[in-house]
Amino acid sequence: MKTHINRIAIISFTILLTISMTSCKAVKNANNKQKGGVIGATSGAILGAIIGNNLGKGGNGELGAVIGGVIGGGAGVLIGDKMDKQAQQIEEEIPGAVVERVDDGIVVTFDENSGVYFDTNKSNINAMSQETLNKLAGIFSEYPDTNILVVGHTDSVGAEDYNMTLSKNRANSVTNYLMNKGLSSGRFTTNWFGESQPMHDNNTEAGRAKNRRVNVAILPNQTMINEAQQRAGEN
């Protein structure tokens, strides 16, 4: 009996050690090129980065299908390398944007303080936003083997139905502007959530300003995935 208990203790210690090593600072700080070789689970992190603190509250099936899962193995390393480079370029050329590398993708958040914003109750692209979106379109043109997801949000001020329509119009404005720069319509998926997916406190002005946002997620398309798998000898 004692031996059996000792074996359980050893196994438990081994599992805990493995978990702690996997979650250590070096792994957390590894870029996605490095992590691509070991991650193989279905991705929910990008979805969470886009829709915030209400993940799992229905209506997200379409986005989940667009985002798909994480590509592991050698193909994941190759994809991660390309996405790291694209994320770095966005950070360098659009310094106001919040750029996150999440799994195989990139999530870019624009709010009133970061490059793409809308005047009160308006959905047209203003001059400042045009300048930022022109840079973003140029980067997208350099990386044609990616799909682009545009998601619109609002704060909680005003009627819920009105905010839903406003977020829809703003997301469509961003998508249409980018497509008018010569990007293929087949690369785009557009979605909107109105006030239902806050990432910040709507009780403060600073929080509301951050909730009035548009997210752009950049994801490898099937062409990039197939090419990476072939290069890695996994196809």
Q: Which domain holds residue 2?
A: 1-30
Percent of the chain with pLDDT over 70: 77
3-state secondary structure of 160: helix
Q: Do 6 and 58 fall into the same domain? A: no
pLDDT band at 50 (very low <50, low <70, confident <90, very high): confident
Count of domains in the chain?
2
Q: Do 113 and 44 fall into the same domain? A: yes
Pairing, β 188-192 against β 105-110: unpaired
pTM here is 0.78
The span from the CA of 229 to the CA of 11, in Å, is 35
If you ran DSSP here, which 8-state letter would residue 200 be given? S
The span from the CA of 198 to the CA of 109, in Å, is 13
Q: Which of 49, 42, 32 has its CA nearest to residue 151?
A: 49
Q: Do 51 and 167 fall into the same domain? A: yes
* Residues 6 or more apart whose Cβ sits within 8 Å of residue 179: 185, 188
Q: Do 177 and 202 fall into the same domain? A: yes
For the chain, give the mean pLDDT. Answer: 80
The span from the CA of 95 to the CA of 89, in Å, is 10
pLDDT for 19-30, tens place per residue? 333 333 322 333
CATH assignment of the domain containing 180: 3.30.1330.60
| Structure confidence at residue 235 (pLDDT) | 66
Q: Do 130 and 89 fall into the same domain? A: yes
| Structure confidence at residue 153 (pLDDT) | 92
Amino acid code (one letter) for 7: R
pLDDT for 163-212, tens place per residue? 999 999 999 999 999 999 999 999 999 999 999 999 899 999 999 988 88
pLDDT for 51-99, tens place per residue? 876 554 444 667 877 887 788 899 999 999 999 999 999 999 998 889 9
DSSP 30-93: --HHHHTTT--SPP-HHHHHHHGGGTTSSS-HHHHHHH-----HHHHHHHHHHHHHHHHHHHHH
**At residue 36, does pLDDT exceed 50?**
no
Q: Do 8 and 122 fall into the same domain? A: no
Q: Do 1 and 71 fall into the same domain? A: no
